[in-house]
Amino acid sequence: MNILITGASSGIGLALTNRLAKSHNVIACGRNQNKLDTVKHDKNVTTLAFDVSVKEDVENASKNIEKLDWLILNAGTCEYIDNPTRFDSALFERVISANLVSVAYCLEFLMPRLKDGGKLIIMSSSSMLLPLPRAEAYGASKAALTYLAKTLDSTLEHIDVTVIHPGFVATPLTQKNDFPMPFLVDVEDAATRIIKGVEAGQHTIEFPKRLIWIMKCLSWLPQPIWRSLARRMKK
């Protein structure tokens, strides 16, 4: 199979690249060619450097891509809004651009490269299940991605769509978090769960189950109760 992965130079994207390249041809994509050069240690890996948040970059990169079996849109970022009373619109715009608008660019220029019967995999987050403190930008982008993926799943006839809702995964991005991360998952374990889920034809992949169950239960609380809990968490 031919598989393209965005955000392949670190974290989940790198783990997926390493695992899938054992038996498939992988196009590992990222912004930084130097980082990508460290990824290209397998004969089945080719690299492609471009910025998914720049439309022209995505369009130009797409010209070098043949037909794909899987398209994994994994690239993204995370920044938190510490003081919503002084809302940081620049931060919000950066996160929405990196996590959401970039996916639209990839859908426009890369999805046409998918074969009939191919698989489109979109990396969302379990944060979309619950309105979490400081996650106004990140959570909004991921909730929108899930809605987008499920809409595509309902309307695309010859492409299978999978959306992924991981909990906390040990990556360079989550290392920056300054709060407890319950049920933290190893990145290799996360890659294994994702690949197994996609191969099994799952349209939604969520893990770890304990965290997902807790978050779903909390999402069913009346809003006044959750508001009180969320404000305590912020303190």
Helices 136-155 & 89-96, crossing angle to 10 degrees? 30
The token pair that represents 172 in the structure block:
């360079």
Give which of 174, 36, 171, 152 is closest to 103, Cα–Cα.
152
**What own/partner pairs with CB < 8 Å and gap ≥ 24 does 193-200 have?**
194/12, 194/16, 194/121, 194/164, 194/166, 195/16, 195/19, 195/20, 197/162, 197/164, 198/70, 198/119, 198/121, 198/162
Q: What is the pLDDT of residue 40?
A: 66
Residues 154, 113, 104: CA angle, nearest 5 degrees: 55
Residue whose pair of structure tokens reads 């070098």 in the numeric block: 64
Q: What is the pLDDT of residues 144-180, one digit of tens each?
A: 999 999 999 999 999 999 999 999 999 888 878 887 8
Q: What is the pLDDT of residue 64?
A: 86
Q: What is the pLDDT of residue 126?
A: 96
Average pLDDT over residues 59-80: 95
Letter for the amino acid at 100?
A: L
- The strand pairing partners of 125, in sequence order, are none
With H, G, I as helix, E, B as strand and everything else as coil, classify residue 77. coil
Q: What is the pTM of this model?
A: 0.94
Q: What is the pLDDT of residues 79-127, one digit of tens each?
A: 999 999 999 999 999 999 999 999 999 999 999 999 999 999 999 999 9
Q: What is the pLDDT of residue 177?
A: 81
Quickly state the pLDDT bin for 231 (edges 50, 70, 90).
confident
Quickly state the pLDDT bin for 38 (edges 50, 70, 90).
confident
Is residue 191 over pLDDT 80? Answer: yes
The token pair that represents 44 in the structure block:
């089945």
